[in-house]
Structure 1
């Protein structure tokens, strides 16, 4: 089994792992000793379990999440991208990676080849980005853009 297959395989986790995951995904800054108290085990056991969950790829680090609106990024849009040819996929993704306002990029099935999430300061900023950067990427045949009016919720996958 290669590394990619290993990482895509569902991890073997037990009830203690699930309880730990529920606690740390609600609050990534929760002290391990508090998690240990909630779980009824030692702090060392929690540290070892979290390290194991990191090592097997169930969780990947921790991060602070920036609120885009607090930094003036008030327009959230999704864009379906049609490619001239499938062979352009890698080169288009690399070009998109160099546009900071493109915050997510997915290779998808269906009518689009690529689907991206874009955060811009205004609708005018979005239009500029489309006209001056995205439409100039070699390999993109055309795009279809959807502006999000409001995000009702966002969550992680359920932990049993």
Structure 2
């Protein structure tokens, strides 16, 4: 699907406020409500808009520690990678998993209640995955920018 300027504006607005009403969205993009709704539905049907989420305050829900873990695997064959990915997807505290280049194989973003719960997760879950050769943890001290908004190219 080729995106035009109006589609891009719709995406920018929805990323900033997914709770916006169709009436307000139509005013902001300069179309009537019916064609605005058609555009949003088309963006959803083509998989450009994949879902809508509530962004939570981690600390207010009791998740005070964020870490990145660089993981090296025991091998690089497809079955090793696939098995590791399946196991990682079973652990809810791992909110992101990226296959990377460099000295490690994967980069995990992990959210935990506190350091003790993180340590338990690392020792009893992640390091127990058969395909994990070693890990290196980076604890996030503070975050200066964290955005879920994609910069839509114009």
TM-score normalised to structure 1 length: 0.89
CA distance in 1, matches of 2:81, 2:21: 43
Which is richer in helix? 1
Whether 1:75 and 2:65 are equivalent positions in the alignment is yes
Matched residue, 2:151 = 158
Determine the structure 1 residue equivalent to 2:140. 148
Q: Please tell me whether residue 90 in structure 1 is matched to residue 72 in structure 2.
A: no
SS in 2 for 1:145: strand
Consecutive unaligned residues of structure 1, counting only runs of 5 or more, are 1-10
Q: Does 1:104 align with 2:102?
A: no
Question: Aligned-pair distance for 1:97?
Answer: 1.2
Q: Which runs of 4+ in 1 moved over 2 A?
A: none
Equivalents in 2 of 1:95, 1:39: separation in Å?
A: 44
Residue of structure 1 equivalent to 2:42: 52
- For residues 100 and 15 of structure 1, what CA distance do their matches in structure 2 show? 38
1:98 aligned counterpart, secondary structure: coil
How many residues are paired up? 150
| RMSD of aligned Cα (Å) | 1.2
Which ranges in structure 2 are unaligned for 5 or more consecutive residues? Answer: none
Shift of 1:66: 2.3
After superposition, the C-alpha distances for 1:21-67 in whole angstroms (9 at most, x for unaligned) are 12111100000111111222111101110111112222112111222
Match of 2:127, SS?
helix
